[in-house]
Structure 1
Amino acid sequence: MTTEARPTVVNPARAAMIGVSDFDGVLRGKHVLGEDVSNGDGVVKFSEAVLAWDCSDRVPPASFTQKPLLAFGDADLRILSGTGRAVSYGGDLCLYLAEFTGAHESLCPRGVLRRVLRRAAEHGFSCTAGFEFEFMLFKESADTIEEKPFATWVPLTRGPFGYSIARSVAHQELLGEILALCEKARIPLSGLHFETGPGVIEASLLHCDALEAADRAIIFKSMIKAWAQTRGMMATFMAKVSEKWPGQSGHIHISMSSDGRNVFYDSDTVQNISTMMRQFVGGQLRYMNDFCVLAAPNFNSYKRLVPGCWAPTSPSWGVDNRSCAVRIIPGEPSAHRLEYRLAGADVNPYLGLSCAVGSGILGVEENAGLTAPIVGDASEESGLPFVGLPQGLSEATYRFAQSPKASDMFGERFVEAFSCSRRWEWEAVRHRVTDFERQRYFEII
């Protein structure tokens, strides 16, 4: 008589994955076996190459890297035991976030956000934030999008139909899976709906402490992309998938508090906008052009920042005005906040939030002023106090690299390394010849 072998029971904490953000906001990681990562913030070794790679795992030439990582040895990762989440819809795969520490901490995107929030704390402020992401679903696989021309890719739905109840009902099983996945991963949503554009869904992540909000955001993006593939689909968070459709945003809602009180709120002022909030927004506008590359980090990002696409074209603000870069949303103290609309869905959550909060804190430190709000369409306003946003990744990167305030707020080593990575990203894309160029010029010119 033979005894049936029993399946090995694996402790999820000893067979978990760890993930760390690279410059592009992509979670890089691996399984950590045989080590309980749920008890205490341990340190493990991880290749420093992820701080040198671009999004296609290429290392920029030495000419783009002033202080290159020459040996690509191991770096120290601090495992954040409190971040463990189940990230698979049908299983119990657990993911723990990590951050670079030691010699590499100054380059770590999560570390950059921690330093910005610490600077806010030095003024007595804590930050609450919530991300909104638009993403597009295609009924394609990784193989078919490689084999088929873009014009033949099939989106989940055809044409624009924002806030569609009909589509939400028709795809209730799919939306239900997203809701269940987020609940299981401890990433609560405050809203989920179809947005304008074929196959576009918008998810609003519930607001919370700023660092936790960025952690949730970066996990959400990776989790949705993985879930889509299990459904035979592909999800993209590109800022602009086609010139025929609106771009995909990554708006960030922010409020600041002190001793439990919302310091953006003042019941004795017009629209309840406090002096501190005016200074904060004034700083966001003053440094929006210099810090833009943190919120719009890719060549493709700037194709979203054009008139008529529900995206800002200049450093502008307004009260409940969605055409502006900063939209103040007045309300009761518990809801009074701003929406930072510069960032696209392709944003690295840690760096996008660092941009929005860091520039605001500079405004408070400098007692920045604020002009009258934009009432109409900000893209059609003339005489704005600031020049329009950078016209592309090259200009935005140059402004960031040359900005003394960027080095002051984010650290000189990070500014240098991130600027080098963005110069390489621009170079990697700018000389590519597109199908549109061939169609436009081949016969005529």
Structure 2
Amino acid sequence: MLKRQTAKAAERGWKALAGTELEFVVYNDSYEQAWDLDYKHLTPANQYNVDYSLLGSGRVEPLLRRIRNEMYAAGMTVESAKGECNFGQHEIAFKYDEAVTTADNHSVYKTAAKDIAHDMGQSITFMAKPNEREGNSCHIHLSLRGLDDELVFWDKATGARTKTYDHFIAGVLATMREFTLFYAPNINSYKRFVKGSFAPTAVAWASTTAPARCASWAMVKARAWRTGCPVAT
């Protein structure tokens, strides 16, 4: 399906680029121990909010470093690793690539991260809502470029968005409700749709992330589109 869509984009002179950011929670319990505990009362790798905390990320660095190195060896470009709000919650971000490549890397990364955690006697979950605190999101960054890499969303001459970008926004908004079947495919995904949380609860867009608190928003100077949604598992 994705290959067909990117082929259609190429026929119009575009290539589709995508990047994903997956949040996950690290537990000091192994997967077998989690099973024995019926997945209750697990011990998170951090006991407090480590959002943007260097010390907090450092406490989990042996695991994070190994995941980064293994993904680099698999051909992915690691851009960052940081702590998040939930206890034991972290995120590793990778550089964008062509959409099909990113989709493949996304699946490889999720599977490999779990295997690496298992090898280190820990466990990882990408579940959208593993507990009552902040859930795990998947931020999807989308953009179009010309086949020769020129910008198609931003007109340098006029300093404004292009019509192509406006149509792109309109298409994303028009299909947002139907595409939620892909964005949030599980019952657990919908548990994250709570007003006042970091999860999107409306179909809207804004030029920055802060005021939106919505399903999607545009990045500065219309170079890319970012969608925030609950991840599947």
Return the TM-score normalized by structure 1: 0.49
Match of 2:169 in 1: 281
Task: In structure 1, give the amino acid aligned to 2:136.
Answer: Q
Aligned to 1:345: 231
Task: List alignment gaps of at least 5 residues for structure 2.
Answer: none
Measured after TM superposition, the shift of residue 121 of structure 1 is 2.0
What is the percent sequence identity of the aligned residues? 30
Higher strand residue share: 2
Question: Which residue pairs with 2:50 in the alignment?
Answer: 161
- 1:177 is the counterpart of 2:62: no
Determine the C-alpha separation between the residues in 2 that align with 1:314 and 1:269: 31
Deviation at 1:298, TM superposition (A): 0.6
Confirm whether residue 247 of structure 1 aligns to residue 161 of structure 2: no
Deviation at 1:337, TM superposition (A): 1.0
Q: Tell me the residue number matched to 2:192.
A: 304
Q: Deviations over 1:300-347 (max 9, x none)?
A: 11111222221211111001124122221124x9xx2111113x2327
| In 2, Cα distance between equivalents of 1:301 and 1:280 | 26
What amino acid is the match of 1:278? Answer: D
**Cα deviation code 1:1-37 (max 9, x no counterpart):** xxxxxxxxxxxxxxxxxxxxxxxxxxxxxxxxxxxxx
* Residue identity opposite 1:285 in structure 2: L
Equivalent in the alignment of 1:317: 205
Mapping of residues 204-283 of structure 1, within 5 Å: 204-243=93-132, 245-258=133-146, 259-267=148-156, 272-283=160-171
1:328 correspondence with 2:218: yes
* CA displacement, residues 238-275 of structure 1 (integer Å, 9 cap, x when unaligned): 111112x11111111111012421211123557x3221
Contact map agreement 2:50 2:57 (CA 8 A) in 1: no
Residue 341 of structure 1: SS of its match in structure 2? strand
Give the whole-Å Cα distance in 2 for the aligned partners of 1:149 and 1:329: 41
Amino acid at match of 1:256: L
SS at match of 2:154: coil
5 Å matches for 1:9-28? none
Relative distance call for 1:242 and 1:338 in structure 2 (3 A) is same
Q: Tell me how far apart the structure 2 counterparts of residues 168 and 143 of structure 1 sit (CA, whole Å).
A: 25
Do 2:34 and 2:40's aligned partners in 1 also have CA atoms closer than 8 Å?
no
> Are the aligned partners of 1:205 and 1:217 in contact in 2 as well (CA < 8 Å)?
no
Offset at 1:188? Answer: 1.5
Inter-partner Cα distance in structure 2 for 1:231 and 1:192:
18
Length, aligned pairs only: 230
Shift of 1:289: 0.7
State which structure, 1 or 2, has the greater radius of gyration over its C-alpha atoms. 1
Deviation of 1:160 after TM superposition, in Å, equals 1.8
Superposed structure 1 runs of 4+ greater than 6 Å apart: none
Instruction: String of CA shifts for 1:219-241, please: whole Å, max 9, x gaps.
Output: 00000010000011111111111
Structure 1, unmatched stretches of 5+, are 1-111, 348-445
2:22 is matched by which residue type in structure 1?
Answer: F
Larger relative contact order, structure 1 or 2 (CA cutoff 8 Å, min sep 6): 2
Q: Distance in 1 between matches of 2:33 and 2:69?
A: 28
Q: Aligned partner of 1:279: which letter?
A: H
Q: CA deviation at 1:136?
A: 0.8
Query: Quick one: which amino acid aligns to residue 217 of structure 2?
Result: R
Distance in 1 separating the partners of 2:60 and 2:187: 33
